[in-house]
Amino acid sequence: MNNVLWFGGPTQGPIARFLKRTLRNQPEEQQLVLSAIQILETTSLDVLAKTGKVGKVKGPIREYRINAKAHWIRILLAQGKGTDIHLLHVVLKKQNRLDAGDVQIAEGRFKRL
């Protein structure tokens, strides 16, 4: 069992704001993100990497990829101490490609932990 920590907290941080604002009118996508977080709580990153859902991005930053209808959702995260997994940034993409700016945001948040 993993200890999933939301950067900024589960109600006020950037992940919570993404769910409330960006996916406000997309309940199916909201559920996909929440389901992915539940999977992260119960499955090791090594096992998820073997499924192709989790991949390395840069340094300690990894991504959990979700294919949702006409776009992709990326959860950027990092392994912490022990079983801690830090959720750092979530982004909605029209293409299956991650922007350098999103990686920089995740790296900056990781450094502040």
Domains parsed from the chain with CATH numbers: 3-111 (3.30.2310)
Tell me the per-residue pLDDT of 30-84, one tens digit each, with 9 for 90 and over: 999 999 999 999 998 889 999 988 999 999 999 999 998 888 999 999 998 888 9
Nearest to 96 by CA among 69, 67, 55: 67
Q: Considering only the C-alpha atoms of the chain, give the largest distance between any 2 of them, rounded to a whole number of Å.
A: 36
pTM tops 0.85, yes or no: yes
Q: Residue 108 — pLDDT band, cuts 50, 70, 90?
A: very high
Tell me the per-residue pLDDT of 8-33, one tens digit each, with 9 for 90 and over: 988 889 999 999 999 999 999 999 99
